[in-house]
Chain A
């Protein structure tokens, strides 16, 4: 195998224009957070019925994608597949950037973001949320350490060991994220242990899709060769992850349909839930799973780079739809306090919760995404994360 030479990306006019645009989006997100804190969550679409809104959709998506973005590095270091080694640094960088973007949204959506210090100093270790605070910050530290041993030649020999720690950490982290929902026994749309491994499969798909898109964009903008073999290998992996996610969705809903107590919630998500049903079937299933597989593997498109790009976009859009369905749809379905009874009250008991995302929420969510891309771009500019060439061997 030939030696890999990494180099910083060039800062052309287009690069700085993109940085400027992202900085604007970030500023819009911070402004939204400022108003949400000073005026209160009254300016959002959230209520006492739907308590987590659009910021959580973006935050959960980015955090889940972050652990998945580390896939490529793990395949190289942990599973010894040398073909993935040139991509490992970018993989680690994206993992950190996406996680910081997601965490920023999560923190700024708190009722009291000024109490971040309290969250870092008061721990209830029976809370999966508290564990996640440690898992998230630990993930940034472990992945940073991993990048260091990959980028510092003298430490390269440790990359397998540190890569294994990072790989195990990411599995535990996504288990924790899935468990935030899976352990909610009070809400019928959640309350399934399978949500933990399902979130791992979601992370594999979302993270790899974002990785492919960033890799294709960076190579194209920097005129760096990206070999068909590398891209097709990643594409096949993403197709397999998309199929895996469909399988988990199938098992998740079949399990729930089998239990009578969940039948109302299942009917809501699968056929009577209006926008939530559309998001599930068209968003999560079609865009997130079926369409990418068709684009990746239908004979006329098997070698098409455009199909790889559009398939990855489809996984990202479908993934956002799925997370929206899980986070918002799961809350919109009313709690069953009196099972089998008809209920009504001034507090919207028995009524599907109404939620419409507000501008500040969307701005905060997009601001977090902009932060993740901004960190990635600036890191690529400052440090040698990307190989000079990713052309296929022999070219």
Chain B
């Protein structure tokens, strides 16, 4: 099986019980290979923290102030790549969960370096078009791919207006337990869902704060007191391809 990793175990209540249960299930799977697919699906469902975590009372979002983002800085890209275990070696088949796009206004010459990743749309076209439901949106707005039911049809890649998804075209190694990846399936930014479930910020946001220009603000868009909501209230921001009315969770300030 191409897939080797699973998302991190959900934190909090029931964690120890889950560990025991997993050990038991692991033994059972070895002795009864026929039930293996069902077992791994169960483990995945628990790993996503679907039971305990995602709540519609929260909408995770990201605000990127492009005036603070330097063209020469790739801290967010490097952090995402090393945390989630994907590599870009410059080939057109290589995955890029996040990239820096140099955007220049041809009239004024104003230019900005803009990090682009999955925009975690409220009305995500990738979720709409996915035939099996592998592309899905959590209650808290994070858009993910269930690698267990992704058939690799790539229709989500055709539908995404942000080119945010990549297809795994070859055998890969070095997967991280919290970022399952596998040949023949589609992948993209998870907003570091495992870190969010653990109460941390996404890897790109952390890297930007420590090594970059502090251009990224992460938080709950539904909480008026959150840093992101206050920043959004203070300065105008835009959503990419706002004309499509997809209501992305990622917003930008200072675009040319």
State whether the Cβ of A1 lies closer than 8 Å to any Cβ in chain B: no
B132 touches A130 (CB 8 A): yes
Given A40-B171, A111-B186, verify A342-B106 contact (CB < 8 Å). Answer: yes
Given A48-B167, A185-B244, verify A118-B132 contact (CB < 8 Å). Answer: yes
A-B contacts, 29 listed (Cβ < 8 Å) = A37-B184, A40-B171, A46-B167, A47-B169, A48-B96, A48-B167, A110-B151, A111-B151, A111-B152, A111-B153, A111-B154, A111-B183, A111-B185, A111-B186, A112-B150, A116-B151, A118-B132, A119-B132, A123-B133, A124-B131, A129-B129, A129-B131, A186-B158, A335-B161, A337-B162, A342-B106, A343-B104, A346-B100, A349-B101
Neighbour of B93 across the interface among A47, A124, A339, CB < 8 A: A47
CA distance A320 to B74 in the complex (A): 43
B244 touches A40 (CB 8 A): no
Who on chain A is nearest to B162 by CB? A337
CA distance A72 to B166 in the complex (A): 43
A51 touches B157 (CB 8 A): yes
Who on chain A is nearest to B166 by CB? A48
Q: Produce 1/0 per residue, A308-346, CB < 8 A to B.
A: 000000000000000000000001000111111111111
Residues of A close to B93: CB separation below 8 A: 41-42, 46-48
Given A40-B169, A48-B167, A111-B186, verify A119-B151 contact (CB < 8 Å). Answer: yes
B133 touches A40 (CB 8 A): no
Neighbour of B184 across the interface among A49, A112, A122, A126, CB < 8 A: A112
Q: Produce 1/0 per residue, A187-229, CB < 8 A to B.
A: 1000000000000000000000000000000000000000000
Query: Which 7 interchain pairs have the tightest Cβ spacing?
Result: A111-B152, A111-B184, A186-B161, A47-B92, A40-B170, A129-B131, A130-B131
Who on chain B is nearest to A37 by CB? B184
A341 touches B244 (CB 8 A): no
Residues of A close to B91: CB separation below 8 A: 47
Neighbour of A48 across the interface among B92, B149, B161, CB < 8 A: B92
**B interface residues with partner A (beta carbon < 8 Å):** 88, 90-96, 99-106, 114, 116, 125, 127-134, 149-155, 157-163, 165-171, 183-186, 240-241, 244, 255-256
Q: Produce 1/0 per residue, A104-136, CB < 8 A to B.
A: 000000111101101100111011111011000
Who on chain B is nearest to A330 by CB? B158
State whether the Cβ of A34 lies closer than 8 Å to any Cβ in chain B: no
Give the secondary structure class of A's interface: loop
Residues of B close to A44: CB separation below 8 A: 169
Question: Within the complex, what minimum Cβ distance (angstroms) separates B124 from chain A?
Answer: 11
B92 touches A346 (CB 8 A): no
Residues of A close to B127: CB separation below 8 A: 124, 126
Question: Within the complex, what minimum Cβ distance (angstroms) separates B120 from chain A?
Answer: 15
A112 touches B185 (CB 8 A): yes
Given A111-B186, A112-B184, verify A129-B102 contact (CB < 8 Å). Answer: no
State whether the Cβ of A251 lies closer than 8 Å to any Cβ in chain B: no
Neighbour of A186 across the interface among B116, B154, B159, B186, CB < 8 A: B159
Chain A residues bordering chain B, tally (CB within 8 A): 54
Residues of B close to A184: CB separation below 8 A: 158-159
B101 touches A127 (CB 8 A): no
CA distance A186 to B133 in the complex (A): 20
State whether the Cβ of A39 lies closer than 8 Å to any Cβ in chain B: yes
Question: Within the complex, what minimum Cβ distance (angstroms) separates A356 from chain B?
Answer: 11
B92 touches A341 (CB 8 A): no
Who on chain B is nearest to A41 by CB? B169
**Inter-chain pairs besides A47-B169, A341-B106, A343-B102, 19 sampled, C-beta below 8 Å:** A41-B93, A48-B93, A48-B94, A110-B151, A112-B185, A119-B153, A124-B127, A129-B130, A129-B153, A129-B155, A130-B132, A132-B131, A187-B158, A336-B241, A338-B255, A340-B105, A343-B104, A347-B101, A348-B92
Residues of B close to A52: CB separation below 8 A: 154, 158
A133 touches B131 (CB 8 A): yes
B151 touches A115 (CB 8 A): yes
Neighbour of B163 across the interface among A41, A133, A335, A342, CB < 8 A: A335
Question: Within the complex, what minimum Cβ distance (angstroms) separates A109 from chain B?
Answer: 9
State whether the Cβ of A145 lies closer than 8 Å to any Cβ in chain B: no
CA distance A30 to B133 in the complex (A): 28
B256 touches A341 (CB 8 A): yes
Residues of A close to B157: CB separation below 8 A: 48, 51
State whether the Cβ of A248 lies closer than 8 Å to any Cβ in chain B: no
Who on chain B is nearest to A56 by CB? B154
Max chain A Cβ within 10 angstroms of own Cβ: one of B90, B96, B163, B256 = B163
Residues of A close to B101: CB separation below 8 A: 337-338, 343-345, 347, 349
CA distance A130 to B153 in the complex (A): 11
